[in-house]
Each structure stands twice: as structure tokens, then as C-alpha cells.
């Protein structure tokens, strides 16, 4: 039997943490609970989780800082669970590298579904665009390899969380094809995202910070529609 996938639950509310653990244990996940940011960072190394469920309001090191520090070393998917429901808080969490953001109070079935979806997208490469079955696409100064989840830009390896890499690969696999934000959410996240489509914009913004436009290609915004990987002849 395959080993159980491991979920690290980080929440200073013991009742909520235990309830989340109960939900996830019923779904055959192995769970570990910690109640503060410092313990979370330690357990990322010791427990080596497949997924982190992270509250923002933590004693000591808060959830934002935990997310930032985890993302500097690991690509472990992170779902933020927080009572802070303002757009600013959601966008900040995503910009720091979280894969999803779920506002408290949340439905247990939705939490389980989102956790499974994030893990599925993390473990299973995003589907290639219909035009090709290749797991690698190359352009001048850019190679995106979905088999080993690597990006080579200007001769150097660029570290990217899985969602960023999958989004870049998907766009680059169909050059000059325009995708709406909704289509990209469906293709990359693999489920109907509850909330606005700002998460796509945030991931595109992070890609542009790491991958600069070239003379022969660029990530283009189609205002009012979505995005495309534009290739110039």
C-alpha cells in the first residue's frame, strides 16, 4: 500500500486544528498539528509534509512569514486558512507563494476538495496543450521542462513553485493562443476556483518578475480577456 500523504496543520486554535485533522484523517491523510509559526518551520523540515494548511494569525512568527520562509526553500503546496477575508490579504498570501486561500469559517467538504485538488495538481503535471504531447517547450533563452519541473532562463535555472511553472508551460505550449482567466484556472488549478480570478493575475505577475520579455517572445495581457504567450516571427 502506498504511503499516506502527509498534511501539516498550522493553527493556534486547538479546536479548529483538531477538527481539520479529523476531516483529513477520515480521508486517509496522515496529519500533524502545530500551533505556532516557529514550530511550523521546524516541522516542514522534520515532518516533510505533502501539503501545509496554514493559518495567518499565529503567535510569534505569523502565517505570512511562514509562507515566505517555506517558499524560499521548498515547493510544498500551501493552502492558507484565515478569517481575514479582505482582497488585500488574499492577494498578499498568493504573492508570497500560497497555492490557495480559504476563508474561515469554511465547509469541511470544500476544505477536503481543495486539499485534494492542490495535491493532485502538485503530483500530476498539468495537461499539455492539445497541439503537442511534449513535456518540454523551448524558445530562445527559455526552456520549460514539465517532466522534471525545471525552467532554464538565460542559461540559469529559475526556481518556481509548481503552479507558476505549470501556468508558464501551458501558455508556452500554445504560442499566440489567448486563454481567459477562467480557462487558465480550470486548466492549471483543476477545479472551479471559488472567488475572483485575481489568483491568475498574481501568478502572471510573479512569472514576469522572474521571466523578462524577449525580442522573440513575451507573456502578453489581452485586456478584458486574459493572457497569451506571444511569439514574434
pLDDT digits (tens, 9 = 90+) for 24-74: 999 999 999 999 999 999 999 999 999 999 998 898 899 989 998 998 888
- Average pLDDT of the chain is 85
pLDDT value, residue 51: 94
Domains and CATH numbers, the chain: 6-123 (3.40.50.2300), 136-231 (1.10.10.10)
Q: Residue 230: pLDDT above 90?
A: yes
User: Edge to edge, what strands does the sheet with 142-145 contain?
Assistant: 136-139, 142-145, 150-153, 156-157
Q: 93-98: long-range contacts at Cβ-Cβ below 8 A with a sequence spacing of 24 or more?
A: 93/56, 93/63, 93/64, 93/67, 94/198, 94/199, 94/202, 94/203, 95/202, 95/205, 95/206, 96/64, 96/67, 96/68, 96/71, 97/67, 97/68, 97/70, 97/71, 97/161, 98/54, 98/67
Cell of 214: 524577449
pLDDT value, residue 86: 76
* Number of neighbours of residue 107 by Cβ within 10 angstroms: 9
pLDDT value, residue 128: 44
Partners of 220 in beta bridges: 228
pLDDT value, residue 88: 76
pLDDT value, residue 132: 45
pLDDT value, residue 194: 52
Q: 170 vs 112, 161, 193, CA distance in Å?
A: 26, 14, 18
Q: Residue 125: pLDDT above 50?
A: no
How far is residue 66's CA from residue 177's CA, in Å, rounded to a whole number? Answer: 37
C-beta separation of 7 from 29 below 8 A:
yes
Model confidence at 217, pLDDT cuts 50, 70, 90, reads very high
Of the ranges 13-22, 75-84, 137-146, which one carries the lowest mean pLDDT score? 75-84
Q: Residue 98: pLDDT above 50?
A: yes
Model confidence at 19, pLDDT cuts 50, 70, 90, reads very high
The torsion of the CA quartet 179, 180, 183, 187, rounded to 10 degrees, works out to 50
pTM above 0.75, yes or no: no
Model confidence at 196, pLDDT cuts 50, 70, 90, reads low
pLDDT value, residue 73: 83
pLDDT digits (tens, 9 = 90+) for 132-181: 445 889 999 999 998 888 899 998 999 888 888 999 999 999 999 999 88
pLDDT value, residue 141: 92
pLDDT value, residue 123: 64
pLDDT value, residue 130: 45
pLDDT value, residue 50: 93
Q: 158 vs 78, 144, 195, CA distance in Å?
A: 20, 10, 30
State the chain's maximal CA–CA distance in angstroms: 59
C-beta separation of 71 from 43 below 8 A:
no
Q: Is 12 exposed, middle or buried (0-12, 13-18, 19+ CB in 10 A)?
A: middle
The alpha-carbon radius of gyration of the chain (Å, integer) is 18
Amino acid at each position: 500500500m502506498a504511503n499516506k500523504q502527509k498534511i501539516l496543520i498550522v493553527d493556534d486554535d486547538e479546536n479548529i486544528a483538531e477538527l481539520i485533522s479529523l476531516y483529513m484523517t477520515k480521508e486517509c491523510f496522515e496529519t500533524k498539528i502545530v500551533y505556532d509559526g516557529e514550530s511550523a518551520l521546524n516541522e516542514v523540515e522534520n515532518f516533510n509534509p505533502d501539503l501545509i494548511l496554514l493559518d495567518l494569525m499565529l503567535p510569534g512568527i505569523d502565517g505570512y512569514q511562514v509562507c515566505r520562509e517555506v517558499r524560499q526553500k521548498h515547493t510544498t503546496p500551501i493552502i492558507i486558512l484565515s478569517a481575514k477575508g479582505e482582497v488585500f490579504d488574499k492577494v498578499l498570501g498568493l504573492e508570497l507563494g500560497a497555492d490557495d486561500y480559504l476563508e474561515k469559517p469554511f465547509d469541511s467538504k470544500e476544505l477536503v476538495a481543495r486539499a485534494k485538488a492542490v495535491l493532485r495538481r502538485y503530483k500530476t503535471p498539468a495537461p499539455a496543450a492539445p497541439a503537442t504531447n511534449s513535456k518540454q517547450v523551448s524558445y530562445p533563452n527559455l526552456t520549460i521542462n514539465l517532466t522534471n519541473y525545471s525552467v532554464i532562463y538565460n542559461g540559469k535555472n529559475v526556481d518556481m513553485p509548481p503552479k507558476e511553472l505549470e501556468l508558464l508551460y501551458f501558455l508556452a505550449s500554445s504560442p499566440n493562443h489567448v486563454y481567459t482567466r477562467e480557462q487558465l484556472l480550470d486548466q492549471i488549478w483543476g477545479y472551479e476556483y471559488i472567488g475572483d480570478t485575481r489568483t491568475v493575475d498574481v501568478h502572471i505577475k510573479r512569472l514576469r518578475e522572474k521571466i523578462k520579455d524577449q525580442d522573440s517572445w513575451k507573456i502578453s495581457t489581452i485586456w478584458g480577456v486574459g493572457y497569451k504567450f506571444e511569439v514574434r516571427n
